[in-house]
Amino acid sequence: MLTYREIREACAAAAHEMNRLYCLAQGDMSQPHWDEAPEWQQRSALKGVDGVFAGNDPAQSHASWLAEKAATGWTYGAVKDVEQKTHPCCVPYAELPPAQRQKDHLFIATVTAMAQALGGVPVA
């Protein structure tokens, strides 16, 4: 049986990869594979998994992501720029375009399905 930490990391990797593929489908080539993602990006996905395990809905998941971005110096920018720490999704959930809101729904669905498949980490 997998440990909680292993399940958490597998869920983060799966959700990251889902997001990467969704972004590719939207023409966004900026997301690296999980194994090549920088530590800050992996940490962000792990925090997102923690939120799903705690029962966050999509709006709460985005709010948590947004709070983390703000705490680490990111601000709104029309274009995502890792060096400048700008991101077009640094807005409240209600202001996100539908395609961006979908990423929060997909993140939660991926984490939930993966956790259940790996042994039942409680997911609200």
Element (H, E) at 87: strand 86-87
Which token pair is 3? 């440990």
Q: Give the CA distances from residue 23 to residues 54, 55, 63, 99, 122, in Å, rounded to whole numbers and listed in that order.
A: 26, 25, 20, 10, 28
Q: pTM score > 0.85 for this model?
A: yes
Element (H, E) at 86: strand 86-87
Per-residue pLDDT of 26-61, as tens digits, reads 998 989 999 999 999 999 999 999 999 999 999 999
The domain ranges of the chain are 4-117
Tell me which residue has tokens 């705490």.
71
* Residue 122 pLDDT greater than 60, yes or no: no
Give 124's pLDDT tier (boundaries 50, 70, 90): very low
Per-residue pLDDT of 74-116, as tens digits, reads 999 999 998 999 999 999 999 999 999 999 999 999 999 999 9
Give 19's pLDDT tier (boundaries 50, 70, 90): very high
Which token pair is 22? 């969704």
